Amino acid sequence: MTARHLLTLLSLLVLVVPALAQGAPRSGAEVYRQACASCHASDGRGAPRQVTGIEAIPDFTVCAFVTREPNPDWYAVAHEGGPVRAFAQTMPAFGGALSEAEIKGALDHIRAFCPSKHWPRGDLNFPRPLFTEKAFPEDEAVLSTRVASKGQGEVMSKLVFEKRVSARGQLELIVPFGFRDVEGTGWRPGLGDIALGTKWALLHSLRTGTILSLAGEVILPTGRKDQGFGKGTTVFEPFLSFGQILPGHTFLQLQVGAEIPTQTSVAEPELFWRAVVGISLHQGFGRLWAPMIELLAARELEGDKPIPWDLVPQLQVTLSRRHHVRLAGGVQIPLNETETRKPQVVFYLLWDTFDGTFFAGW
């Protein structure tokens, strides 16, 4: 054996022996049993108060709970403890005692307590863009407002209530309202066209990072057309929403659909498509910043009007520690027909109702 061979062998020993001494890495199930089970119980249902002294421990077998949030939130809580998301302090910080791989292994084990594969994982729940409809079924209340910066005065808001009704389904109610500077009469308040909607996640895969949903809305003519608050006819709006995880915490969301009025003499049918790319930037384990850029287009099916294109740079940020209250804002910038279409400021305040009351979790 040459000196070079000996050196190589020694180098290998130096690398291999400590690894062997540390033993095989613990499996997620093992980490869960050693670190989590005393409170969360080996079956994930949560140990009783008599055992832990803790009033309410979440039940990991409830799919609606265990699938809903993305991994970074779970990881943050496991690493930093409950208070990082405004949960109970009794949830300790394991960041100093468990490696990243061990925590992630335990989280995989926890996720597996949901026996159903129908529930899309929260990692496919991308930040909500200002216009593009998400594919992920949600429990949210959103108040969004659009303000015309130039031209005819308009401040229009809409309240959106989304309620998840099953693993894949969601119902939705949209109530628009606002003020318009109506020619000749000045600023007038008004109710817009109230819409009822539903959504169904057709397919979702965490492996490929994909989610696709079919959705539809019925827009009722509750707003006055003559004052610009409504279209004056019932409109059906079927659409597909798509989301895709991209490398480096980036994501893509698409929405393609049509507006089909029941009276084409009153409103034009049109196709629309929207796309958004963005990135999730975590401020340590705290706030989440999500800059996005959205491209909007719509084409009336009759006539030869040019397709209006808009670009919407925007930013969403979590306000509450729990990340259940978020603020987003951006500017809708027309890319063509800029003579008639002016930039508008758009923003929303979002409350994820599943994660607690509005004022909890700060």
Return the range that interacts with other proteins (CB under 8 A); candidates 93-101, 122-130, 142-150, 212-220: 93-101
The DSSP secondary structure of 11-61, one letter per residue, reads: HHHHHHHHHHHH-SPPPHHHHIIIIIHHHH-TTSS---HHHH--S----TT
CA of 26: how far to CAs of 78, 100, 109, 154, 237, in Å?
A: 16, 12, 12, 60, 51
Please give the Cα distance from 181 to 166 (Å, whole number). 42
209 makes contact with other proteins (CB under 8 A): no
Residue of 28, 44, 81, 120 that binds other proteins (CB under 8 A):
81
Q: CB burial class (10 A; 0-12, 13-18, 19+) of residue 284?
A: exposed
Closest CB to other proteins among residues 5, 150: 150
290 Cβ contact list (under 8 Å, min separation 6): 127, 278, 279, 280, 281, 315, 316, 317, 328
Task: Please state the closest distance from residue 35 (CB atom) to other proteins, in A.
Answer: 5
Closest CB to other proteins among residues 284, 303: 284
Please provide residue 20's backbone torsions phi and psi, each rounded to the nearest 5 degrees.
-70, -40
Closest CB to other proteins among residues 44, 197: 44
Return the range that interacts with other proteins (CB under 8 A); candidates 16-24, 88-96, 171-179, 243-251: 88-96
Residue of 60, 75, 91, 273 that binds other proteins (CB under 8 A):
91
Closest CB to other proteins among residues 34, 227: 34
Give me the residues paired with residue 182 across strands: 186
Task: Please state the closest distance from residue 248 (CB atom) to other proteins, in A.
Answer: 22
Task: Please state the closest distance from residue 290 (CB atom) to other proteins, in A.
Answer: 13
Q: Which of residues 222-241 bind other proteins (CB under 8 A)?
A: none
Closest CB to other proteins among residues 89, 265: 89
CA of 181: how far to CAs of 153, 159, 194, 207, 224, in Å?
A: 5, 21, 21, 50, 14
219 makes contact with other proteins (CB under 8 A): no
Residue 243 half-sphere exposure toward CB, CA atoms < 13 A: 31
Reading phi first (left if > 0) and then psi (alpha if -120 to 50, else beta), residue 361 is in left
Residue of 44, 46, 75, 93 that binds other proteins (CB under 8 A):
93
Q: Which of residues 22-61 bind other proteins (CB under 8 A)?
A: 34-39, 47, 50-54
Task: Please state the closest distance from residue 265 (CB atom) to other proteins, in A.
Answer: 46
Closest CB to other proteins among residues 91, 245: 91
Q: Which of residues 126-165 bind other proteins (CB under 8 A)?
A: none
Closest CB to other proteins among residues 102, 217: 102
247 makes contact with other proteins (CB under 8 A): no
Residues that bind other proteins (rule: CB under 8 A) add up to a total of 35
Neighbours of 217 (CB within 10 A): 21
Return the range that interacts with other proteins (CB under 8 A); candidates 96-104, 125-133, 188-196, 205-213: 96-104
66 Cβ contact list (under 8 Å, min separation 6): 44, 60, 110, 111, 113, 114
- b (16+ CB within 10 A) / e for 200-214: ebeebebeebbbbbb
Contact yes or no for 111/67 (Cβ under 8 A): yes
Residue of 171, 319, 331, 345 that binds other proteins (CB under 8 A):
319
Closest CB to other proteins among residues 57, 130: 57
Q: Which of residues 279-308 bind other proteins (CB under 8 A)?
A: 283-287
265 makes contact with other proteins (CB under 8 A): no
Please give the Cα distance from 135 to 125 (Å, whole number). 8
**Residue numbers at the binding site for other proteins (CB under 8 A):** 34-39, 47, 50-54, 80-84, 89-98, 283-287, 317, 319, 321
